[in-house]
Amino acid sequence: MVQQSKLLRMDSIDIVVESRDKAILFFTELGLKLKGRSILCHI
């Protein structure tokens, strides 16, 4: 039996990915909702 997560809220998280669209699809399938997106560039 799998226990339910006790996580009540997640305000912000940064994830570095090669494909933004594939990452959004992955997390959407997990039940998360996209609230915004941004691109950060390194120098």
Kindly state the tokens that stand for 29. Answer: 């399938």
CA-CA distance, 22 to 1, in Å (whole number)?
30
Band (pLDDT 50/70/90 cuts) for residue 43 is low
CA-CA distance, 1 to 9, in Å (whole number)?
23
Give the model's pLDDT for residue 3: 79
pTM recorded for the entire structure: 0.52
Judged against a pLDDT cut of 70, whether residue 41 lies above it is answered with: yes
**pLDDT, tens digit (0-9, with 9 covering 90-100), for 11-39:** 877 778 888 899 889 989 999 888 887 77
Closest CA to 13 of 31, 38, 30: 38
Give the model's pLDDT for residue 35: 85
